[in-house]
Structure 1
Amino acid sequence: MAAAPPKTRINVWLTDPTKWATNAKDVALSAASGFNEAHPEYHVDIRRFDFQTMPAEVARAAEEGVLPDVVEYHDAVTRVALDTLGPDGSPMYTPVGRAIAGRTEILGEPVVLGDMVPAIRDYFRYQGELLSVPRTASTMVLFANTDLLAKAGVTDLPRTWREVTAACRAVRSMPGGPAHAIAWPNFYWPFLQAAAQQGALIVNRDNGRSGRPERTDLASDAMMAFVEWWHGLHRDGHYLYTGRQGDFPGCFTAFENQEVAFFLSSSVDASHLLERGERHGFRVDVGPLPYNDEVPLAGNVLGGFSLWLAAGLDRARQDGALAFMQYLNRPHNVAEWARHHYRIPITRAAADVLDQDGWYRRHPHLRVAGAQLEAADGSPAALGPLLGGHAEVMAQLTDAMHDVLTGVAEPKARFLAANARAQQIIETYNAYCDGPPRRSPSLLAVST
């Protein structure tokens, strides 16, 4: 009997859900088994890494000449992935749009890109070309203690900044009410959301989507409108600042202990905030992220991960990798991922699965985040920025806000200073990547 032909091995590096998700269940593992069974000429082999160290892991692999075929990156390092070079000095990844080349199926697996929520899919476009295939998404929403609101006479969740301010005033005016009314951590996402909602850019060149950005704008009119509103809530006693940047645990505790009525956070936090309310005897509702009354709402930014395709693969390996991406994003796989991790279903067919099995009937709160992304206008502002040195630039925003909230600095001057530092960061990043010589940014510490 003739020996079976060797299988084409597809090496897939994914982020480890135990590092960022609500539980360890990863549909990718079962999907890999299903794909291998459906396509016996292939074997998908999955390795998992901490999402924060993935760029460094890839850089080390490139140095050793042992590269994965598919790599999953966090959205914040999209520019880093785009700039990462292979051992021969050429781009490490091939844009998936170019590789798919208009096909509607690959190895019999239907291409799912056309069914994806546009705001999720198009975040990963650069110069009109799709770079990678999204796998998971979330956004920022409003959580509310509706029992406290009812006692304060607030019947509807606030939709705008002005309505939030009025609701906070009502909560703090009621007898026996909490000392504060609202909280959210001082981290980078609220700033990006506020800019996107107001149609404002963080960097030039269409938010870094039509070319490498060269200028930052962290003190725009839109950004300062948000900062001044936030500062005003804090000054008037409505906003609870724990005094620590990125203090999610402190904010979670404040909401759970009914020290505030409102909490702004990731839609993923429905996974535990709804249960915290039930455990402590109060009802939790979820609403869209409030926006500036004075400006038309453009949209909200996603958070999530996407799958990048290695360059230079032979046709069989490339098609196997692309086919697995489609298989992983089959409606039932996406729906299972959304159920277990409280993520937004990235395809409309997956949302239909959740509708049909009663998930949304049992959890109507979980429609809000997806509807919020569906409503985005698709502009570069609403999609959010692509820039190098993302973490270091975002740190300038949170550092500046800390100084404003603690009374160390006046808002406008402090954010102008933050912008000046951010400008230095992207200039350092750009010079490093553009050379000469051109270099891969994965191990660059641009903040030093």
Structure 2
Amino acid sequence: MDIDIWVPLYPFMPYFLDRTRELAEQFTAAHPEYRIRVRGEDWLTLPQAVHDAARQGAAPTIAQYFYTSTQEALDARKPNGEPLFTPVERAIAGRTEILGEPVVLDDITPAARRYYTFDGEVAAMPPLTSTTLLYANTDLLARAGIDDVPRTWAELEAACRAVVRVADGPTHGISWPNHGWLFQQAAAQQGALLADHDNGRSGRAATMYLDSDAMLAYFHWWRRMHRDGLYLYRGRPTSTQSDWEANFRAFADQRVAFTLTTSVEAERIVGAGRDGGFTVRACRMPYNEQVPYAGNVIGGDALWLADGLDPDTMDGALAFMQYLNAPRAAADRHRDTGFIAVTDGAAQLLDQEGWFKENPHFRTALDQLAANDGSPAARGAVLGDFAEIQRVLTQAMHDVLVSDVDVRDRLARANSQAQRVLDDYDAACRGLRPRGPITVG
């Protein structure tokens, strides 16, 4: 029996395709009645490729969607109009093992499980999970007289002011990329929604809330950090290819004392400190101290299971999903890629092996996600054409940073643009326009 799995090709990580193929070979050696065929697709166009294949009745058995394409996965349809995917939890049907492979769905990190839960069921199984962290050059902090890392926006701002006063120190305190993920994090931390219907979780998102008080607070704080010379900005907006590398280099070259970036970069950033002769500490992302902290959202992707499979093929696909996330496989994937150990079993295994004691920077992301309160805001939004909505935010932030536009007016315009993106996406789902992304000016 053939099982086709389509996985995303990320420009920053060729590992996953090759490693999935290795695990597929190991799985079929134990289950010779199955053949796992692994195909790579560009991560941005994979949803469209699956959609096109589904129209021809040739959709993959398993498809791995990036988290911003979750709504596209939920909306994917067969030629007869029925959902293309079935919830993984429903297909498992309470079993504790499938074809001898222990079921690990219930062991998935709670924040990741909650992100992919709809109508009380886990819809997809995430193998890759990440979050946003603050990284600090503690040597520069010591020179600035700072004893501990900042935990709030106010503390971070104060620390940056101290750092730039250091003789022969950096000219700026912090850098981070102008990327849509950061806006999601800021809203979630403040308990704010990006859209109605509980961020698209109790019903389909229909109205955008990008101009909320929480987002306004974030825009104003970010702009102040920039205008006061504390935040280093390269002066161009970014969309799908954010300037993550330049952000890394600014920190590695000690032109800033702090950087905000993905938890996946933890080892690389700590290693840059070792190579540069300074100490790095991975810290939780600072939050707005003016409101209660709700949590940080995840990044990464998840495996979606085709609906209507015959029982043997379905069991083979489900068993392979469990195999991919078995404790040893998930622990090794974490070591090799920096993505979070996505199951409690993997984290426990790494703990037993002394991994986190030797590499405490890898524990921070787990601790941050464990503080998530499970509210709709902290679970994260599910929106159609989320990538374009993110681009709308990055362009708005760019304008706020480099010009004298009124923040409230610019954010209101961004909200209107995002509303058009969402409306156009929904129109495509209803067959009122061709499927495909809409770009707004």
Q: Shorter-chain TM-score category?
A: over 0.9
Question: Is 1:321 matched with 2:313?
Answer: no
The corresponding residue for 2:222 is: 230
Alignment-derived partner of residue 106 in structure 2: 114
Unaligned runs of 5+ in 2: none
Query: Is 1:367 aligned to residue 360 of structure 2?
Result: no
Residue 256 of structure 1 corresponds to 252
Residue in 2 that maps onto 1:75: 67
State the alpha-carbon separation in 2 of the partners of residues 100 and 136 from structure 1.
Answer: 20
Cα RMSD after superposing both structures: 1.6
**Structure 1 residue 20 displacement after superposition:** 3.3
Task: Write the letter of the residue equivalent to 1:333.
Answer: A
Question: Alpha-carbon deviations, 1:4-31, whole Å to 9, x = none?
Answer: xxxx1111111235x2327568432232
Asked if structure 2 preserves the Cα contact closer than 8 Å seen for 1:127 and 1:211, the reply is no
- Between the two proteins, what is the percent identity of the paired residues? 49
Look up the match of 2:175. 183
* Alignment check: 8 A CA contact 1:22 1:341 kept: no
Match of 2:21 in 1: 29
What SS does structure 2 have at the residue aligned with 1:446? coil
Distance 1:21 1:285 in 2: 24
1:94 aligned to which of 86, 106, 128: 86
Whether contact under 8 Å (1:355, 1:361) holds in the other structure is yes
Q: Is the 8 A contact 2:9 2:17 kept in 1?
A: no
Note if 1:127 corresponds to 2:127.
no
Q: Which residue does the alignment assign to 1:10?
A: 3
- The runs of at least 4 aligned residues of structure 1 exceeding 3 Å deviation read 22-27
1:401 equivalent in structure 2: 397
Q: Deviations over 1:99-140 (max 9, x none)?
A: 112222222222112111110111112232221111110000
Write the distance in 2 (CA, Å) between the matches of 1:25 and 1:391. 23
Asked whether the equivalents of residues 27 and 336 of structure 1 are also in contact (C-alpha less than 8 Å), the reply is no
Match of 1:5 in 2: none
Mapping of residues 143-154 of structure 1, within 5 Å: 143-154=135-146
Alpha-carbon distance in structure 2 between the residues aligned to 1:45 and 1:257: 43
Residue 182 of structure 2 is aligned to residue 170 of structure 1 = no
- Whole-angstrom CA distance in 2 between matches of 1:85 and 1:20: 30
1:416, CA displacement in angstroms? Answer: 0.5
Match of 1:312 in 2: 308
Mapped to 2, the partners of 1:42 and 1:389 lie a distance apart of 35
How many Å apart are 1:249 and its aligned residue?
2.3
TM-score, reference length from structure 1: 0.94
Report the AA paired with residue 114 of structure 1: D
Aligned-partner Cα distance in 2 for 1:217–1:331: 39
1-structure distance, mates of 2:422, 2:264: 30
In the alignment, residue 123 of structure 1 is paired with which amino acid? Answer: Y
Moved more, 109-118 or 414-423: 109-118
Q: Which residue of 2 aligns with 1:3?
A: none
Aligned residues between the structures: 436
- In structure 1, which of residues 19, 30, 42 is the aligned counterpart of residue 34 of structure 2? 42
Cα shift at 1:87: 2.3
Is 1:342 equivalent to 2:341 in the alignment? Answer: no
Conservation of the 8 A alpha-carbon contact between 2:131 and 2:262: yes
Q: Is the 8 A contact 1:72 1:306 kept in 2?
A: yes
Letter in 2 for 1:158: P
Amino acid at match of 2:174: I
Supply the AA of the counterpart residue of 1:42: Y
CA contact (8 A) 2:164 2:173 kept: yes
Residue 46 of structure 2 contacts residue 65 of structure 2 at CA under 8 Å; is this kept in 1? yes
Query: Which residue, 356, 373, 378 being the options, matches 1:377?
Result: 373
Give the secondary-structure state (helix, strand or coil) at the position aligned to 1:244. Answer: coil
TM-score (norm 2): 0.95
Is 1:137 the equivalent of 2:129? yes
Distance 2:154 2:160 in 1: 10
**Residues 1:423 and 2:423 aligned together:** no
Contact 2:17–2:40 (8 Å) recurs in 1: no
* TM-superposition CA deviations, 1:42-77 (whole Å, max 9, x none): 222212222122112212322333221001010000
Q: Secondary structure of 1:370's match?
A: helix
1:353 is displaced (CA, Å) by 1.2
- 2:326 maps to 1:333: no
